[in-house]
A and B are shown apart, each in its own frame.
Chain A
């Protein structure tokens, strides 16, 4: 047992905060802060982009294109999620070890299947899409499988965790009543976790919409494709029209998932045709509709994927990745490693900068964005500007998180020269909304009594924040920062694709030059980064506890 000095224990959080701040400042020093960062025409372009935001293109033709693309985006997301759920269900059950009898086989199946889930989710969906397109060509299945694999990995892991966490007593009772392992699964485990699993799946579905939108980046249709085309034509007004479609789609899905979750937490059962059955019906229609559209409307054939020609391509591609028949594979070359590691460092700096920016913006805006502060419940002070401020900031949050990082990056790259700053900004623009929303919910859930005491003692809003709110919410704030940082780490490679620096940019170059072994090297570096991020955030989280 290690004994700690009490004062060190007391200041642990403070020291940690200073440490994290220092890391952020260090990441900033990696940029040369001067006017060289901007394109010559960067500022005017920015003004044009803002103009387009205020006056989006509402021509009927554009609106129709937007509607069709929104449907494609939705259909891919639904199809991808439906496969992801099947994958998550099967592998998740196996990874939980609930079907195994002996301790040894349970351990083996846990390690093996959790490994599979971990591997599939550590690689970003866009990279899967790249790999599939490179291996089997442009097909809706490339997008659907690219979505299904990482999302299935995430869902499966959560599913396995849930199955492992069910209360033991009901399960023992079922087994004592003589039920078999599969019967126990269907009568015990599944009913106990299904409500939580559906909530989580609905939450992930919203993310899948955004991911589906950016699939277009590798040449697959949908809203992202239209945004990319409009950007290439410098039609910023149309860009915003499509972005608004995406936002609307995300908001609709968000509302639906909110509704479903409300229905699940409310234990009261409504007799007859309740909201739950409505959702089931709606979901079924969506899944069936999406698959019909993809197989008939888009004429995509699954067996075409497995044609001899494609198998030949895939063999060549994956053989290339492994460096078969290569003179000098990049992943065995010291010089390539040195270069790749420098890019890895850059990517790390980019992710830290991104989470730093997000944290700053969320920190400034979070107080007015909490419902219990807006209505004066927490601070006992009511001001006329509370609600307008609340609405404005919440709108900003929705706007920020509805637009995928990649789309932000595509726009920002018009203003800034390629480098890690535009990448960090794009990541920050997407993440501050998520962080702000999560934080606001933390404040909304906190115990109001200590804060009211401060308020009645005459503390100002700022004083209340530093003396009352911050000490209570800080650990959870930090947890969310770290959690988002992990996500940002996975996404850094993606913003790099459009020229925002780091590993992603080089990845794209290697793809264009068919430099397969270089791709392998970059993927290795990327996975090292993801592992570092997971490990660092896990350690920090434990330190705060």
Chain B
């Protein structure tokens, strides 16, 4: 495993109106790490992921992605190859066939004409089919995405990420609306793919068990600040109950 630093945050701060969302966070994540973000709701997990994805502008501090400042990246192909995002299953285009949703991961590489033709005759079909094969949905390639179950849709989103093939994957509550069996399914698949491709994964989770089971490092957030940042095996039950309990006493 290389030790290249993929994400480096230096005192990043973000507030919405009066509310502080992120207060002076600093951390660095190396290539191949699998990081779980945990913490009570409203702690800033989503805001942090959105700022790394470049969706939310920061007030101060600096974010380096692969040693380049985030703001130096332009939207488009280069950034899409660097960072990919996966959320709850709502981020697919329901009325499109599964294969088109998967091939949408190629849009940054394709021109307009090729992407239009692909809606009629799927282009680079083999790559999409093999991605679907890996998530176990090859037989559903031509079904309407909206007819699939929540867990299946999340696997389609993963296949799209595989096609996009970014170096960093940001997952925002990827299993929030799935039942435990499906959630296990999706997370084990996601972490397996990430380690096979030597990608870097940062996922926000509401469940501590999943964080411990699938991730190598846990960063916990509370009130916009880092509460602890430790390898998974060093996280104790006490720390966790502190993380969630303190919130209620405030």
Identify the A interface with B (CB < 8 A). Answer: 167, 169-170, 172-180, 182-183, 186-188, 191-192, 194-195, 267-269
**Which of the residues A180, A192, A267 comes within 8 Å of B112, measured between beta carbons?**
A180
Q: In chain B between 107 and 124, which residues have their CB closer than 8 angstroms to a CB of chain A?
A: 107-110, 112, 115-116, 119
Give the shortest distance, in Å, between B178 (CB) and chain A (any CB): 16
Which residues in B have their C-beta under 8 angstroms from that of A169? 87-88, 90-91
Say yes or no: B107 contacts A187, CB within 8 Å: yes
When A191-B93, A195-B95 are in contact, do A179 and B84 touch as well, CB less than 8 Å?
Answer: no
Chain B residues, CB < 8 A from A180: 76, 107, 112
Instruction: Contact check, A176 vs B90: say whether CB atoms are below 8 A apart.
Output: no
**B94 contacts which chain A residues (CB < 8 A)?**
170, 191-192
What 9 A-B pairs have minimum CB-CB distances, sorted nearest first?
Answer: A178-B108, A178-B80, A173-B91, A179-B107, A169-B90, A169-B91, A176-B85, A191-B95, A191-B96
A contacts with B: majority SS: helix
Q: Is the CB of B90 within 8 A of A186?
A: no
Does A177 lie within 8 Å of B160, measured CB to CB?
yes
Instruction: Decide if B100 is an interface residue (CB 8 Å cutoff).
Output: yes
B159 at the A interface (CB under 8 A)? no
B116 and chain A: residue at smallest CB distance: A186
Using CB atoms, name the residue of chain A closest to B161: A177
B41-85 residues with Cβ-Cβ distance < 8 A to A are: 53, 55, 75-77, 79-81, 83-85
Task: Give the B interface residue count (CB, 8 A).
Answer: 38
**Distance in Å from the Cβ of B43 to the closest Cβ of chain A?**
21
Alpha-carbon separation in the docked complex, A183 to B80 (Å): 14
14 A–B contacts, CB within 8 A, in A order: A169-B87, A170-B90, A170-B91, A175-B75, A176-B55, A177-B80, A177-B105, A178-B76, A178-B80, A178-B81, A179-B104, A180-B76, A180-B107, A194-B95
Residues of chain A lying within 8 A (CB to CB) of residue B75: 175, 178
Q: How far is the CA of A192 from the CA of B146 in the complex (A)?
A: 11
Contact check, B119 vs A174: say whether CB atoms are below 8 A apart: no
B96 partner residues in chain A, CB cutoff 8 A: 187, 191
Residues of B within 8 A of A173 (CB): 85, 87, 91-92, 157
Chain B residues, Cβ within 8 Å of A182: 112
Asked if B119 contacts A186 (CB within 8 A), the reply is: yes
Which chain B positions have C-beta within 8 A of A179? 104, 107-108, 115
A429–B163 CA distance with the chains assembled, in angstroms: 60
A172 to B91, CA, bound (A): 8
> In whole Å, how far is B48's beta carbon from the nearest beta carbon of chain A?
16
- Give the docked Cα–Cα distance between A350 and B73 (Å): 63
Q: With a CB–CB cut-off of 8 A, which chain B residues contact A269?
A: 143-144, 147
**Cβ-neighbour of A187 out of B55, B79, B115 (below 8 A):** B115
Q: Complex: how many Å from CA A417 to CA B88? A: 67
B85 to chain A, nearest CB (A): 5
Contact B147 A267 (CB under 8 A): yes
Nearest-Cβ distance from residue A210 to partner chain B, whole angstroms: 31
CB distance from A170 to the nearest CB of B (A): 5
CB of B13 closer than 8 Å to a CB of A: no
Q: Complex Cα distance A186/B120, Å?
A: 12
Q: Is B164 at the interface (CB under 8 A from chain A)?
A: yes
